[in-house]
Amino acid sequence: MKFNLPVFTAALLHATQVFAADWRIISINGAPAIGDPAISFLSDGSISGGTGCNRFSATGQTSGDRLIVSGPVATTRMGCDGDALLQQEAMIVALVESGASVTADVFADTLTLTDVNSTFVLKRTAAPAPHN
């Protein structure tokens, strides 16, 4: 069963263990993610992660069912192998900056982030995710 954030805003936003966690990006537009991309959301609004190549960070909050990021996403600039990894990185950064909608499936422990161009499915990890 999936629930949209506005329905559970009061309950879930105060339950930081639900959203303030490390999330592995498992699929992008239905295809498996390349490498180990991940996003971490902290209760102070910090967002950080890895694209499969470079690391990124930002500050944000939720507003209704949207992830709102304050300012641009900062990224490292390491060389990435292959066009597919570079494209994945661009899609991840664009998604974080886009005001993506957030849908939680609390029973499957997944988040789905969607913008006009892409849909990402994230799975909460038991241990902190490496940000590479």
Distance between CA atoms of residues 71 and 78, nearest Å: 22
Domains of the chain (ranges, CATH numbers)? 3-124 (2.40.128.270)
How confident is the prediction along the chain (132 residues), in pLDDT tens digits per residue? 454 544 444 334 434 445 678 999 999 999 999 999 999 999 899 999 999 999 999 999 988 889 999 988 999 988 888 899 999 999 999 999 998 999 988 888 899 999 999 999 999 986 555 555
Does this model's pTM top 0.75? My answer is yes
Give the model's pLDDT for residue 131.
58
Give the model's pLDDT for residue 4.
52
Give the model's pLDDT for residue 87.
94
Place of tokens 């950064």: 93
Q: Which amino acid is at 26?
A: I
Residues counted in the chain: 132
Q: Both tokens of residue 95?
A: 């998604």
